[in-house]
Amino acid sequence: MIIFTSNNLNVLAIIAHPDDLSFFSAGTLARWVEEGHDVNVICCTNGEVGTLRNDLTKEDVAKKREKELRASNNLLGFKETLILEHSDAGFINPAVLRKELVYLVRKYKADRVVTFDPWAKYEVHPDHVVVGRMAAEAGAFAAFPLLYQDQLVDGVDPYACSEIWLMGLLGHYPNAFVDISSTLEKKVNAALKFEATLELLAELFSPNIDPANVSEKQLKKLTRQANSLLRSIASVIGKKAGLEVAEAFYVQKTLPGHFDNFQQLMAEMLGNAPEKPKIY
Ligand SMILES: [Zn+2]
At position 250, the amino acid (one-letter code) is: Y
Distance between Cα 23 and ligand 1 center (Å): 10
3-class SS at 14? Answer: strand
Distance between Cα 157 and ligand 1 center (Å): 30
Distance between Cα 128 and ligand 1 center (Å): 6
**DSSP-derived pairing of the beta strands 163-167 and 246-255:** antiparallel
Q: What is the pLDDT of residue 6?
A: 53
Q: What is the pLDDT of residue 263?
A: 86
Predicted TM-score (pTM) above 0.85: yes
Distance between Cα 20 and ligand 1 center (Å): 5
Distance between Cα 17 and ligand 1 center (Å): 5
Question: Model confidence over 189-241: pLDDT tens digits?
Answer: 999 999 989 998 888 888 889 988 999 999 999 999 999 999 999 999 999 99
Question: Model confidence over 49-78: pLDDT tens digits?
Answer: 999 888 999 999 999 999 999 999 999 999
Does 254 have pLDDT greater than 70? yes
Distance between Cα 49 and ligand 1 center (Å): 11
The residue that leads in pLDDT, 159 or 201, is 159
Distance between Cα 112 and ligand 1 center (Å): 20
Q: What is the pLDDT of residue 274?
A: 82
- Please give the class, per CATH, of domain 10-279: alpha beta
Q: What is the pLDDT of residue 273?
A: 84
- How is the chain split into domains, by residue range? 10-279
Confidence label for 2 from pLDDT (cuts 50, 70 and 90): very low
Alpha carbons 86 and 109: distance in angstroms, whole number? 23
